[in-house]
Structure 1
Amino acid sequence: MTATQYEVHDPATLELVGHAPENTAQDVEAAVAAARAASAGWAADREARRNSLLAGAALIRRDLDALATLLSREQGKPKAEAAGEFSVAAGLFEYYADLEWDSEQQLSPRADRSLEVQYRPVGIVGTITPWNFPISLLCVKLAPALVAGCTVVAKPSPSTPLSTIALVNLLNEALPAGVLQVRTSSRRTVNVALSTSPGIRKISFTGSTEVGISIAQQAASTVKRVTMELGGNDPAIVLDDADIAVTARGIVGSAFRNAGQVCMAVKRVYVPRSRSAELAEAIAVEAARHVLGHGIADGTTMGPMHNESQLKLVHGLVDSAVGAGARILSGGTADCDLPGYFLSPTVVIDAEPGMDLVEHEQFGAALPIVAYDSLDDTIAGLNAGEFGLGASVWSQDQERAYATASRIDAGTVWVNQHTVVEPDAPFGGWKASGVGRERGRWGLEEYLETRVINARPHA
């Protein structure tokens, strides 16, 4: 395998964290060959797979502190949140190890024949994951793929490869050789190689809609299956009877988690005009409680943006909104002595539909608040947009909130909460926000092929 490496830097201090291999297309094909050699044995023993997943979860919990420190340094998030990612990963391994599912299903009998549906692993899987949640977004793919009997070649983001390498090395203490491998690159070389390799039978991707479209087009050349969790621009829709304090805490807890770099975070707030000033002030107060700093430092509750280009993008969207008449109520500055990509939680008021900050996913620490006059018009406008990953409704009237939630075109709609996912509930997007589902039995089915045995007795 190639010996060339590239550097990985801490987004808070800009210091060198480590080096990762600059893998090639040939390295990917070597991984595919090893995965193919391991496939038959791995698929044959379901109990061994279950035991390997449970052993992997135990190893993660054993090394949690060291793993969290590494992830915090290369990604930027507070160490407690990094540890949370690995805990989620261990929980996913345990959930899928214990999930009951039938590998065969008998259909209703016919007069002269029997029908059995068999569920078998799809084959070698390529996972392509982003930098915002490198571990949990990998393991939500990895756990069901492995329990289904698939072998996996994992490709992390170029800027957060070290924690994935560490995780794969750790899990390989519990897995047979060739079942799980990782390939890294600072370029798109490995992405393209995975997407176009005839040996890879499925791609599971999380990232931007733009990149997802490109990967799907590449995968189509070899008729691969794809699961894609793509962009989102999640609205929080506040009804006129909402508890302002509860709503502000919930929105801030979602909108500025991981410096706002969460696919399903609140990205924009819609509030009745009569309550907009009150809610905006409460959100600004809650957001100001954040302490910016190095993720591994005590007291830090919010780290930097992950890279310079993302920071510039968010600044540009905020500046554009201000130029069009919006105002910054709080934040907008670095508020940190470190040289990294910091932006304090930025609350933008007097935002209007049509502004880029409102209509485009900012994926960062800025939150526009839009005052509305008609709930029906607001929902119609949101449903006409390109995204449909998540949304939330905030109200003290549960029946009214539920009715409103049921009108929103999105894969998940929360009531009086946001950014909450469950291991046994399907997660994914409508429209440009994705294809397929992850988590629960739905996530497992993405890694299974069906075969029907239609049998008639010999005459």
Structure 2
Amino acid sequence: MANAAPANTTNEVLAYDSLFINGEWRKPASQDTVVVTSASTGQIMGRMPVSTHADADAAVAAARRAFTDPTGWATWEPRQRARALRRLADELDARKDEMARRVSGQNGMPVSTSINFEAAVPAGVLRYYAALAEQLPVEETRPGVLRGTSLVHRTPLGVVAAIVPWNFPQTLTFFKLAPALAAGNTVVVKPSTETLLDFALLAQAVAAAGIPAGVINILSSGRGLGAYLVGHPGVDKISFTGSTAVGREIAGRAGQLLRPVTLELGGKSAAIILDDAELESNTEELFIASLLNNGQTCFASTRILAPRNRYTEVVEFYKALAEGSVVGDALDPATQIGPMVSAGHRDKVVSYIERGIADGATLVTGGPTSDHENGWFVRPTIFADVDNSSAIAQEEIFGPVLSIIAYEGDDEAIRIANDSEFGLGGTVWSTDAERAALIAKQVQTGTIGINHYLPDFAAPYGGVKSSGMGRELGPEGLAHYQQLHSIYI
């Protein structure tokens, strides 16, 4: 039934009864189901089967068989795997409109954003790693220092467990899946409970692309399933994107097992607006840097650092930006700010807004109430007169809430930017590219943009401090799914 579900262009409820394991649709071990709802309306969008530990065992076993097959995926020439990745990219392209609709319906991402990310990035990153796999040698000969030569051979790690979040579910899945597959690994994907219907569509694309059985296995959600995969004896590497708290638990368990792990965790990035920055001409880029996906973005620059001599101007700019944004149903092409992913997450964001007010910050616009009767909406909220030590400046809110913090001089801006346990993203805004680059290099973060922010496939992406460990994207991302084998000749 699952593989035959049609594209959902109406309000039809999508019902799936199977999981995609070992290249086929398999009945789950449990008859329990997960109800998936619309973030914009609260209405039921679909149902997915619950995945149990037994289902995870079956998925890991299928991935192991596919990996150890003497003529299987891991043994294919890189060019052969690259052709398969490009076929999968083509199949995803054929489903891109439905993919965008499903993601936006579930997690509240404005469909205009979903079209540019969830519907486009997976195919793009697959094609990037297909080309990279063809270009990079899997072995090299190095002249020895003591004697002879050394042959350094790169091999895949084995079975990868990819545990992905709900905010950019397909984009962040392929940050892991594309390099893992390009390197020759097999994968078990564990999505978030909030976004499952898009993974059923992904499974259809995998089957249509002719990816060998067991190379990609897709679970749904289930109690303790992520922790079970982290400790599973059949898993060789963990790749996780999610909260810092869960990331710490995974890192501890992986450390006990001496199992490789890549962690992309939370953020509380700073936007350093220099005294020569142009605001109006960068309106769209400033919006993307701080409010993309309703603020449900780990790299978002949610701490706005403004020079005191332009502080009022910056506050008024962000007030107008928030009040001028179209808030509405995620599936409306005109919407710029959609709902939060769930009622629980909306309540968490609202609690931070109430905390900011209680702690004495000035509420410029927005607030804890919503103008929408249905769905999980939060008005874009701007705080001024924020102390960088306050909760709204230090803790990840994951919603459309920005804190504007004053500074005097470039050195203080850098100090405030670095006064955070996180270090994932950030931005510097200036008309002087050389000055901006000098400041950017001093910010303790894994990535930072000048006059814009978007990760690029060719550059390593990841965080420092409590924002994670390891890197995704770029050649470095591929290297994280390979192990080195030195042969001394």
Task: Give the TM-score range, shorter chain.
Answer: over 0.9
Distance 1:110 1:79 in 2: 57
Q: Size of the alignment, in residue pairs? A: 453
Contact 1:197 1:222 in 2 (8 A): no
- Equivalent position of 2:464 in the other structure: 430
The structural deviation recorded for 1:324 is 2.4
Distance 2:115 2:296 in 1: 17
The structural deviation recorded for 1:38 is 0.8
The structural deviation recorded for 1:248 is 4.8
Within-5 A mapping of 1:296-307: 296-307=331-342
- Equivalent position of 1:43 in the other structure: 74
Report SS of the residue matched to 1:300: coil
In structure 2, relative to structure 1, the CA distance for the partners of 1:323 and 1:451 (3 Å cut) is same
> Which stretch of structure 1 is more off in the superposition, 299-308 or 97-106?
299-308
TM-score, structure 1 as length reference: 0.95
What percentage of aligned pairs have identical amino acids? 37
Distance 1:195 1:415 in 2: 37
1:20 maps onto 2:54 in alignment: no
In structure 2, relative to structure 1, the CA distance for the partners of 1:334 and 1:12 (3 Å cut) is farther
- Equivalent position of 1:52 in the other structure: 84
Residues 75-126 of structure 1: per-residue CA shift (max 9 Å, x gap): 1112222222121110001111111111111011568533100000011000
Report SS of the residue matched to 2:160: strand
Report SS of the residue matched to 1:115: strand
Residues 208-243 of structure 1: per-residue CA shift (max 9 Å, x gap): 110011112222343210001111100001111112
Within-5 A mapping of 1:110-189: 113-174=148-209, 175-187=211-223, 189=224
Report SS of the residue matched to 2:301: coil
The structural deviation recorded for 1:323 is 2.0
* Structure 2: 5+ residue stretches without partners: 1-27
Contact 2:74 2:184 in 1 (8 A): yes
1:192 maps onto 2:227 in alignment: yes
Within-5 A mapping of 1:270-419: 270-332=305-367, 336-418=371-453
Aligned letter for 2:176? K
Aligned letter for 1:430? V
The structural deviation recorded for 1:30 is 0.9
The structural deviation recorded for 1:310 is 2.1
Residues 110-166 of structure 1: per-residue CA shift (max 9 Å, x gap): 685331000000110000011100000000110000010000000011111221232
- Equivalent position of 1:5 in the other structure: 33
The structural deviation recorded for 1:206 is 0.5
Distance 1:246 1:360 in 2: 30
Aligned-residue CA RMSD in angstroms? 1.6
In structure 2, relative to structure 1, the CA distance for the partners of 1:186 and 1:300 (3 Å cut) is farther
Contact 2:289 2:427 in 1 (8 A): no
In structure 2, relative to structure 1, the CA distance for the partners of 1:154 and 1:377 (3 Å cut) is same
Distance 2:389 2:147 in 1: 63
Contact 2:353 2:368 in 1 (8 A): no
The structural deviation recorded for 1:6 is 1.4
- Equivalent position of 1:73 in the other structure: 105
The structural deviation recorded for 1:247 is 4.9
The structural deviation recorded for 1:388 is 0.9
TM-score, structure 2 as length reference: 0.89
> Which stretch of structure 1 is more off in the superposition, 320-329 or 61-70?
320-329
The structural deviation recorded for 1:374 is 4.1
Contact 1:106 1:116 in 2 (8 A): yes
* Structure 1: 5+ residue stretches without partners: none
- Equivalent position of 2:12 in the other structure: none
1:95 maps onto 2:128 in alignment: yes
Aligned letter for 2:457? P
Distance 1:289 1:111 in 2: 68
Distance 1:273 1:255 in 2: 20
Residues 240-298 of structure 1: per-residue CA shift (max 9 Å, x gap): 11123235543223222111000011111011112111111111112222222221124
> Which stretch of structure 1 is more off in the superposition, 202-211 or 108-117?
108-117
Distance 2:481 2:113 in 1: 29
Distance 2:332 2:413 in 1: 42
Distance 2:469 2:414 in 1: 23
- Equivalent position of 1:29 in the other structure: 57
The structural deviation recorded for 1:19 is 1.3
The structural deviation recorded for 1:334 is 5.3
